Amino acid sequence: MTTHCPALFLSAPASGQGKTTITAGLARYFSKQGKKVRVFKTGPDYLDPQILEQASGHPVEPLDLWMAGEADCKHKLYEAASAADLILIEGAMGMFDGDPSSADLAATFGIPIAIVMDVKGMAQTAAALASGLANFRDDYTVAGLIANNCGSERHSQLIRDALPESLPLIATLARTPEVSLPERHLGLVQASEIRDELEICIERGAQWIEDSGMTELPAPVKFEDADVPKANTLLSGMKIGIARDEAFTFIYAANIRLLEEMGAQCHYFSPLHDNDVPEVDALWLPGGYPELHAQKLSENGAMTQAIHQFYNSGKPILAECGGFLYTMETLTDLQGTTFKMLGLMQGHGAMRGRSGCQGMQTAVLPEGDVRAHAHHRSRSAGTPEAISHGRRQRHPAPGEAIYREQNLTATYLHMFFPSNPEAVAQIFKKM
């Protein structure tokens, strides 16, 4: 089966060029015109999708050829194209960074690339750089250049005149600090924390897009469906408690959807605000920012006792990254203050400022391999012996440690459940 939908892939020569701001502005502009807009983000990312979801009014999922697989990406795009008037995909890092890269993803599905470039401090050189990106390989199509942070009409004209006829200047976006999105040590601030402020920025971004003249839908792209097997109902009748609040937010919608497709009922609770865990068969403590809420987590003795009781009952717990930090004895925040955590396992977590670890890895588990990624700026010490380590995508050195204490599985890795549904089901059913 095939369908057609206008689509554009926004990539750049590097991070920090304005991809998220422009993608959000486009999503909001066309949504306000009555168009159904579906947005995707390249690679593992929890923060940009929150902003893009607020801008478009629809959930935003990752597209990653390695983590999710080509068939999964193909199916998601087909579903979106069948329901939408416009598909936008925000790339990750630079256009050719990573393996697979943004260019690989665009080439695989034949989606034209708009090169987003911050042109502050250059003119004709921007045209040279854009031409190099456009012609580096011959397996993708470049729709043109979006020149961000343009200083004047003369600045725009210099860039336009220097571009070859085959590479049009799609738009020039004026320097507008008011549309910039705030940042923090793991990237953009979570949308839920600044919803009202973010709404103002997104609305300004939509006006910014309108003022640039970038108001025509891109050309339609053909999307084909993929044969994706339906999930087995391996978790039929199970209830899974999922931590979700200001401290624990790194949750892929695809993971939730898979759990539900396998028959699980998902119940959410807040380690920050609640006094007890729900009546469930397993717990998932996902990643997030526990270090920003360490004092409140430490002071919630009722929740600590409730999770201990759950742990001692022998029911399974999966703890990832921020959830992993929460399960250890202590956590030291960026100011150097140490707080008591759950103490389900030995070990001490501490924030590290700007240095840390990130990259694609496979979680090597007794139940099977699950594709995952690491992204943290903290370290752990005094932990028990690991049962295994993540397998890095390209490097032979051992990846993140994976721990198992009774029925607690804990690691820095963020797992993408659809990469191995059977293994994930066994983790949550482990008794």
Lowest mean pLDDT among 213-217, 224-228, 383-387: 224-228
Rounded CA-CA distance 46/358 in Å is 13
Q: With a cut of 80, say whether residue 21 has pLDDT above it.
A: yes
Cα 128 to Cα 163: distance, rounded to the nearest angstrom: 8
Asked if residue 100 has a cis previous peptide bond (ω within 30° of 0), the answer is yes
The C-alpha atoms of residue 223 and residue 275 are separated, in whole angstroms, by: 48
- Give the least confident one: 128-132, 338-342, 349-353: 349-353
Asked if 201 is an active-site residue, the reply is no
Residue 185 has pLDDT above 70, yes or no: no
Please give the share of the chain, as a percent, with pLDDT higher than 90: 85
- Characterize the bridge pairing of strands 183-184 and 37-42: unpaired
pLDDT at 180: 74
Q: Give the rounded distance of the alpha carbon of 218 from its chain centre.
A: 25
Q: What are the structural domain ranges in the chain?
A: 2-224, 239-429
The band of 254, judged by pLDDT with boundaries at 50, 70 and 90, is very high
Residue 132, classified by CB atoms within 10 Å of its CB into exposed (0-12), middle (13-18) or buried (19+), is exposed
Out of 150, 266, 321, 357, which one is annotated catalytic? 321
CB of 235 closer than 8 Å to CB of 263: yes
Q: With contact defined as beta carbons under 8 Å apart, do 103 and 9 qualify?
A: no
Measured between alpha carbons, how far is 119 from 117 in angstroms, rounded to an integer?
Answer: 6
Instruction: Say whether 239-429 and 2-224 share the same fold.
Output: yes
**Numbers of helices and strands, H then E, in the chain:** 12, 26
DSSP for 331-347, please give it. EE-TTS-EEE---SSS-
Task: Tell me 165's DSSP state.
Answer: T
Helix (H, G, I), strand (E, B) or coil at 162: helix
Cβ-proximal residues to 385 (8 Å cutoff; 6+ apart), any chain: none
CATH architecture observed for domain 2-224: 3-Layer(aba) Sandwich (3.40)
Is the pLDDT reported for residue 106 higher than 70? yes
Q: Which residues pair with residue 376 across a beta bridge?
A: 357
The answer, yes or no, to whether residue 111 has pLDDT greater than 70, is yes
Report pLDDT for 172.
93
Which residue has better confidence, 180 or 80? Answer: 80
Beta bridge partners of 388: 402
Distance between CA atoms of residues 85 and 377, nearest Å: 39
Residue 47 host element (H or E): helix 47-56
pLDDT in tens, 375-412: 888 999 999 999 999 999 888 889 999 999 999 999 99
Q: Does the domain at residues 239-429 carry the CATH identifier 3.40.50.880? A: yes
Length of the chain: 431
pTM of structure: 0.92
d(CA 133, CA 94): 10
Distance of CA 112 to the CA centre of its chain: 22
Place of tokens 């990312």: 45
Provide the β-strand partners of residue 42.
63
Residue 91 to residue 164: CA distance in whole angstroms? 24
Task: Provide the 3-class DSSP secondary structure of residue 112.
Answer: coil
Judged by average pLDDT, the poorest of 44-58, 61-75, 89-103, 243-257 is 44-58
Q: Read off the DSSP letter of residue 91.
A: -
